[in-house]
Amino acid sequence: MALRRERVLLFGAGPLASKLAEEVEARPGLRWEIAGVVDDNAAAAALQPRLLGTTRDLERVMREAAPDRIVVTLTARRGRLPVDALLEARVRGIVVEDGASVYERLTGKLAIEALTPSALIFSSDVRPVHFDVRARCALSVALAAAGLVALLPLLVLVALAIVIDSPGPVFFLHERVGHLGRRFSLIKFRTMHPTRGRRSEWERDNGDRITRVGKWLRRFRLDELPQFWNVLRGDMNLVGPRPHPVCNFRLFAQKIPYYSLRCAVRPGITGWAQVRYGYANNLEEETEKMRYDLYYVRHVCFGLDVKILFDTLRAVGFGRGVGRAMSAAAETGRWKPAPPTPA
């Protein structure tokens, strides 16, 4: 006997409602179905076929559609929420939830479209607890020091392979933007042929420059190992948003909403966006990664860092790429983002 699907009524049509509907339909294992949409704008194109009435018709829509859950996806709520009807829904046993919170729970990323500056300014979520800051730094430094000592023979072999494979320096230094906007030199094993001309920062535009050894170093993320030194210097943690090149920082700050919040925490060798998404090759993909980075900044804590480290090791062990491995597992329903450990 098939289990009954839970009927979900979206209260508000707009970008967030559209994204939530897409996420629900992409997750058959969730056992949710969109019962319909309530909104005052009858021309809401994306969800028009499901429009069941206006916000004033909520009581009638609840009787006819019989939802099990109401998800509030209105962008502007002041004066538009029928409080009495929603309270009556709670009394009847209907779950009433905030759309941005549901989207965050399902996807492990934040809905930038639903964020407001005031909500971020007055939120305490983007201010890490001091104990967690110290614990995360201590974990990063301890593991980085142990990693450099334990992996010294491997580091020497990688350096020799780079020297034999192609002319050029063993290490690659690149200026990046870190905590609170401070600049630092990120160190990696060189995986590309050197070039004198100015080249794009996107990975896809540099595929012709990757060396034979560099291809394998990138596949197993061995090119990132020298960044343990950046961790010991205090430039980075093991876990955090990936530090962006200085040359891209101004563009991203202008084009990506709330981009500066990435700098609220130290950057990392690996991170939530790397585990869930991987590399970005254009501004649209960087914006998508930003959703994951904001989720991390909002929920940063020692427990979440440990989870990301385990997920990274698991993915790198298979040599499939961190983001791609986690995404493939999510698509098949074998992996879902666990809620972060409370700070």
Residues 270-282: pLDDT tens digits? Answer: 999 999 998 888 8
Pick from 258, 294, 260: nearest CA to 107: 294
- Reported for 194-199, long-range contacts at CB under 8 A and 24+ positions apart, including other chains, are 194/167, 194/168, 194/169
Choose between 96 and 127: higher pLDDT.
96
Choose between 312 and 48: higher pLDDT.
312
> Is it the case that residue 327 has pLDDT exceeding 50?
no
Mean pLDDT value across residues 15-29:
90
Q: What's the rounded Cα separation, in Å, for the pair 279 and 4?
A: 38
Q: What's the rounded Cα separation, in Å, for the pair 182 and 233?
A: 13
- Structure confidence at residue 54 (pLDDT): 85
Q: Are 243 and 188 in contact (CB under 8 A)?
A: no
Q: How far is CA 146 from the centre of its chain?
A: 28
Structure letter (DSSP) for residue 38? E
Q: Where are the alpha helices (DSSP H) in the chain?
A: 15-25, 58-65, 83-91, 99-107, 117-121, 130-150, 152-165, 212-219, 227-233, 246-255, 272-276, 283-299, 302-317, 322-331
Domain boundaries, the chain: 6-107, 130-331
> Is it the case that residue 46 has pLDDT exceeding 70?
no
- Structure confidence at residue 172 (pLDDT): 92
Region label for 36, one of left (φ > 0), alpha (ψ between -120 and 50) or beta (otherwise): left
Lowest mean pLDDT among 98-107, 200-209, 226-235, 245-254: 200-209
Q: In this structure, what token pair is assigned to residue 319?
A: 């040599």
Residues 170-194: pLDDT tens digits? Answer: 999 999 999 999 999 999 999 998 8
Counting Cβ atoms within 10 Å, is residue 337 exposed (0-12), middle (13-18) or buried (19+)? buried
pTM here?
A: 0.80
Residues 125-155: pLDDT tens digits? Answer: 666 667 778 889 999 999 999 999 999 999 9
- Structure confidence at residue 103 (pLDDT): 94
Q: What's the rounded Cα separation, in Å, for the pair 338 and 106?
A: 9
Q: What's the rounded Cα separation, in Å, for the pair 160 and 43?
A: 64
> Is it the case that residue 335 has pLDDT exceeding 50?
no
CATH class label, 6-107? alpha beta
Residues 190-244: pLDDT tens digits? Answer: 999 887 666 555 555 566 789 999 999 988 889 999 999 999 999 999 999 999 9
